């Protein structure tokens, strides 16, 4: 039997399931205990699992990820919360130079199954450092898995799969979609859920493909609905590292046109990589170059300007038009 | 809480002192072999621990390898040897066969070689938190140096350990030089041990060239942690006799007189003299020295004979299972470029 959950609540429920299933699963971070996190994603967990398993840490991102690594080396599965995207950067050294490399450094003897949860992306009218999309930094680092979720259902399963993964996982939560509600079948079994690294066709179509992920999936779906002349397929990428190119290429071979959408800046973003790869794999199927609709190569703007920065319905439709101009 | 300046320690029981002498001397001799192998082009580079043997062997010997765990940086050869780490596997890091060395860190209770200054310090804190959470009595020991003491990670780790009362010992080998920068330009306030007070933990500075003093201070810190007292900091004051690495040139930044003075305070020679005074015969010590030499020669021959890594190792151990993309790159490499 299912129930209607917000995306934030779905992650909370997924974390609860993971903690019940495995006593080695810990939650740690700033304000995750009594407060339940600034977005309440860990609400109630400390009350039910105790302060030993849901740990309010000092305000120290590098220390959080660094001690999570130590806990993982001792056999635990820590889930760290970084409060906002822009506050990840103090933990970069521990993440890129330690977390991502320990399995390799130890020739496979050591495993560090740490999940780093990060609310990311814009659109909530926040102050500086609270609206960024840092995914490309992570996807450029060998040893990390990078996933996001666009729906409560996906979020519910993905967080449990991330916790169960023996690789470190960067779990990017689309903060402006935290309060979107949908049915989640919490009675289904984890093993029945689609794999963590599989993309999903969110809307079938035949004339062009949009690839989006996280907060942009909803916007892409709205754009597809708004286009009454053309039948647009929307793919929700779900995993950014690795990327499920089979699902993307299969779609592009059918539609011949691809528009990639993300909030992160255009240059050297995930969209550029997808564009290159699709060009390699689908060259003779493409009717037009791969288009990208992305954030600009600027620092994330003050919120009075963010509506110009963020890809919206009009910019995505314009991207589709450009793909049909060939 | 004031940082304590530990007084000269009472000597250790004879058999214990002799075994530490064997470990320190063996490490010294392997260190010398490694420098020679670098000169011969066998090792691309090496970082000598000469002069720091007492600080390392004394602290490592205080650990209970049945339950404790040490987190090294990259200059811990005497600590590794004292804990029984496979030394050929340890030097595999310096021969560039594998970044972290090719010993089993779990079985050895000694983390993989780690070249990020200060990076492993929070790992020790997390491990210690986990050990306590599991209801066990093991302690973590984190090796770091005076240079690392300037890193933010060391502050975050110590504060976290203090807040969590994690059973961890922060073992700083203050060897006075962080590559070319001396303590005067590195350590504001002049004492790393004194910083412990700010984290609400005991801090003690000891003569790092006195193996008994380091052993006893570490032992006390471990007992403190094991009995629920939380973390502590031991600063072993010593000296890096050799350059930072075989690529370094100390003539550009330090006074050779200073080096000479510290060579006279050599911890290995000092322990040998103490053993003689304590009644060990020359024959006994000569036997230990012969064993150390033979052992160092075996390690030297072993590292020279160690096979090169397999080209396929490039693609291994990145993930628990290679991703489709990595497997694709691996296949392409095998088809196009593999020797």
Instruction: Report pLDDT digits (tens) over A32-66.
Output: 999 999 999 999 999 999 999 999 999 999 999 99
pTM of the predicted model over 0.95: yes
Pick the CATH number of A200-323 from 3.40.50.920, 1.20.1740.10, 3.40.50.300, 1.10.10.10: 3.40.50.920
Q: What is the pLDDT of residue B231?
A: 98
The residue range of the domain holding B335 is 309-339
Task: Measure in Å the smallest separation between the Cα of B84 and chain A Cα atoms.
Answer: 17
Cross-chain residue pair B116–A97, CB shorter than 8 Å:
yes
B228: alpha, beta or left? (left if phi > 0; alpha if psi -120 to 50): left
Distances (CA, A) of B132 to A32, A52, B63: 21, 10, 17
On chain B, the residues whose CB falls within 8 A of the CB of A245 are 324-325
CATH number at residue B197: 3.40.50.970
B241-272 pLDDT per residue, tens? 999 999 999 999 999 999 999 999 999 999 99
Pick the CATH number of A3-192 from 3.30.450.30, 3.40.50.970, 3.40.50.300, 3.50.50.60: 3.40.50.970
Q: Is there a single domain that holds both residue B335 and residue B204? A: no
Query: Which of B157, B319, B321, B327 best tests the A interface by mutation, with the highest count of A CBs <10 A?
Result: B319
Write phi, then psi, for A195 (nearest 5 degrees): -60, 155
Cross-chain residue pair B106–A110, CB shorter than 8 Å:
yes
What percentage of chain A exceeds 90 in pLDDT?
A: 99
Q: Is there a single domain that holds both residue B229 and residue B322? A: no
B300-337 pLDDT per residue, tens? 999 999 999 999 999 999 999 999 999 999 999 999 98
Cis previous bond, A242, omega within 30:
yes
Q: Is there a single domain that holds both residue B140 and residue B226? A: yes
Q: Which residues of A are catalytic?
A: 130
Q: Is there a single domain that holds both residue B26 and residue B40? A: yes
Judge whether residue A309 has pLDDT over 60: yes
Measured between CB atoms, does B151 come within 8 Å of chain A?
Answer: no
Judge whether residue B6 has pLDDT over 90: no
Q: What is the pLDDT of residue B339?
A: 76
The residue among A300, A2, A38 whose CA lies nearest residue A151 is A2
Structure confidence at residue B2 as a pLDDT band (50, 70, 90): very low
A177-235 pLDDT per residue, tens? 999 999 999 999 999 999 999 999 999 999 999 999 999 999 999 999 999 999 999 99
Measured between CB atoms, does A93 come within 8 Å of chain B?
Answer: yes
Q: Is there a single domain that holds both residue B223 and residue B316? A: no
B90-115 pLDDT per residue, tens? 999 999 999 999 999 999 999 999 99
Q: How far is B266 from B28, CA to CA, in rounded Å? A: 11
Number of domains in chain B: 2
Task: Measure in Å the smallest separation between the Cα of B104 and chain A Cα atoms.
Answer: 7
Parallel/antiparallel/unpaired status of strands A25-29 and B203-207: unpaired
The answer for residues whose C-beta is within 8 angstroms of residue B261's C-beta and 6 or more apart is: none
Q: Is there a single domain that holds both residue B192 and residue B319? A: no
On chain B, the residues whose CB falls within 8 A of the CB of A76 are 130, 133
Say which range, A281-285, B5-9, B177-181, B296-300, has the weakest mean pLDDT: B5-9
Q: Where are the domains of chain A?
A: 3-192, 200-323
On chain A, the residues whose CB falls within 8 A of the CB of B71 are 70
Nearest to B122 among A75, A94, A143 (CB): A94
Q: What is the C-alpha R_g of chain A? A: 19
Q: Is there a single domain that holds both residue B322 and residue B224? A: no
Nearest to B123 among A52, A58, A66 (CB): A66
Q: How far is A228 from A202, CA to CA, in rounded Å? A: 18
């Amino acid at each position: 039997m299912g129930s209607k959950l917000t995306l934030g609540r779905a992650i909370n429920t997924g974390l609860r399931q993971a903690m019940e299933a495995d006593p080695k699963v810990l939650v740690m971070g700033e304000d995750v205990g009594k407060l339940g996190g600034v977005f309440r994603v860990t609400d109630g967990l400390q009350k039910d699992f105790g302060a030993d398993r849901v740990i309010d840490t000092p305000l120290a991102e590098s220390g959080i990820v660094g001690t999570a690594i130590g806990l993982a080396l001792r056999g635990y599965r820590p889930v760290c919360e970084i409060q906002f995207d822009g506050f990840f950067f103090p933990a970069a050294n521990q993440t890129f130079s330690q977390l991502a490399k320990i399995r390799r450094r130890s020739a496979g003897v050591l495993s560090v199954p740490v999940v780093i949860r990060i609310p990311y992306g814009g659109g909530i009218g926040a102050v500086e450092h609270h609206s960024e999309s840092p995914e490309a930094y992570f996807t450029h680092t060998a040893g990390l898995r990078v996933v996001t979720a666009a729906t409560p259902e996906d979020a519910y399963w993905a967080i449990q799969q991330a916790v169960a993964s023996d690789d470190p996982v960067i779990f990017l939560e689309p903060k402006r979609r935290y309060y979107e509600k949908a049915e989640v079948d919490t009675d289904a079994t984890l093993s029945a859920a689609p794999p963590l690294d599989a993309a999903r066709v969110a809307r079938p179509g035949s004339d062009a493909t949009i690839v989006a992920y996280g907060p942009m999936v909803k916007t892409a779906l709205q754009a597809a609905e708004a286009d009454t002349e053309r039948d647009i397929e929307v793919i929700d990428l779900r995993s950014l590292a690795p990327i499920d190119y089979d699902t993307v290429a299969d779609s592009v071979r059918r539609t011949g046109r691809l528009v990639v959408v993300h909030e992160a800046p255009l240059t050297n973003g995930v969209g550029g990589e997808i564009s290159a790869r699709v060009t390699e794999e689908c060259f003779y199927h493409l009717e037009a170059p791969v288009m990208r609709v992305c954030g600009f190569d600027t620092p994330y703007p003050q919120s009075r300007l963010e509506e110009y920065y963020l890809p919206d319905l009009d910019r995505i439709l314009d991207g589709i038009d450009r793909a049909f101009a060939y | 809480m004031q940082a304590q300046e530990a007084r000269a320690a009472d000597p250790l029981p004879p058999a214990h002192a002799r075994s530490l002498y064997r470990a320190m001397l063996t490490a010294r001799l392997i260190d010398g072999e490694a420098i020679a192998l670098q000169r011969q082009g066998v090792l691309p580079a090496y970082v000598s621990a000469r002069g720091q043997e007492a600080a390392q062997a004394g602290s490592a010997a205080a650990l209970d390898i049945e339950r404790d765990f040490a987190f090294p940086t990259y200059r811990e050869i005497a600590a590794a040897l004292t804990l029984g780490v496979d030394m050929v596997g340890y030097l595999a890091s310096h021969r560039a066969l594998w970044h972290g060395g090719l010993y089993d860190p779990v079985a050895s209770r000694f983390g993989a070689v780690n070249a990020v200054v200060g990076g492993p310090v929070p790992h020790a804190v997390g491990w210690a938190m986990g050990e306590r959470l599991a209801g066990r009595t093991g302690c973590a020991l984190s090796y770091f140096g005076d240079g690392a003491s300037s890193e933010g990670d060391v502050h975050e780790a110590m504060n976290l350990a203090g807040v969590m009362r994690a059973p961890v010992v922060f073992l700083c080998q203050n060897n006075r030089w962080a590559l070319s920068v001396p303590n005067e330009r590195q350590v504001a306030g002049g004492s790393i041990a004194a910083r412990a007070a700010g984290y609400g933990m005991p801090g003690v500075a000891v003569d790092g060239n006195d193996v008994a003093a380091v052993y006893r201070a570490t032992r006390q810190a471990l007992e403190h942690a094991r009995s629920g007292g939380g973390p502590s900091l031991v600063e072993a004051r010593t000296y890096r006799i050799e350059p930072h690495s075989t690529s370094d040139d100390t003539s550009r930044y330090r006074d050779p007189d200073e080096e000479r003075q510290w060579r006279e305070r050599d911890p290995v020679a000092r322990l040998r003299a103490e053993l003689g005074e304590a009644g060990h015969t020359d024959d006994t010590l000569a036997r230990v020295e012969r064993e150390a030499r033979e052992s160092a020669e075996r390690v030297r021959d072993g590292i020279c004979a160690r096979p090169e890594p397999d080209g396929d190792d490039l693609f291994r151990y990145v993930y628990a299972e290679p991703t489709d993309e990595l497997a694709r790159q691996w296949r392409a490499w095998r088809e196009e470029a593999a020797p």
